Amino acid sequence: MQTPKSNLDALMKTPQGAVIAKHKDEIMGLMQSSDAQKLMEMLNKSAGGGLKGAADAAMKGDTSQLMDLMGRVMSSKEGAEVVGRINKAVPKDANQK
C-alpha cells in the first residue's frame, strides 16, 4: 500500500502555515489539552469507529464526513461547551482568513 503524499510542505508556505509556525507551542499545548482529548473521545463515540475513515477522507479533500461528526458532537450541550473552550484557546490571529 502506498503512503499518501503529505501536503504539509505546501501548507507551511501559505499564510495559514505562517500562523501555525508562529503559534506552534500554543497549538501543541492545545492539542494535548484535556478539552482536545475529550473532543476526540466524543468524535470517536459519535463516529462509531469511523473517525479514521472520516479523517482520511478529509485529508483527500472530502470534509463532509468530518463536518457531519462535528455537527453531531456540537449538537450536545457538552460538545458545544468543549468546542467553545477550544475555540477560545486558539490564538486570535489563527482564526483570521
4, with CB counted inside 10 A (0-12, 13-18, 19+), is exposed
- Domain coverage including residue 86: 36-90
* Position 75 in a domain: yes
Q: Which residue has the cell 478539552?
A: 35
Task: Write out pLDDT tens, residues 19-61.
Answer: 888 888 888 888 999 999 999 999 999 998 889 999 999 989 9
> Is residue 65, in this structure, part of any structural domain at all?
yes
Domain count, the chain: 1
Specify the DSSP class assigned to residue 90: S
Residue 28 lies in a domain: no
Is the overall model pTM greater than 0.85, yes or no?
A: no
Give kind and range of the element (H or E) at residue 69: helix 64-74
Q: Does residue 16 lie in a domain region? A: no
Q: Does 56 reside within a domain?
A: yes
Q: How far apart are CA 87 and CA 78, in angstroms?
A: 14
pLDDT digit string, tens, across residues 51-94: 999 999 998 999 999 999 999 999 999 999 999 999 998 877 76
User: Is 30 among the domain residues?
Assistant: no
Looking at the domain assignment, is residue 45 inside a domain? yes
Q: How many other CB atoms sit within 10 Å of the CB of residue 14?
A: 10
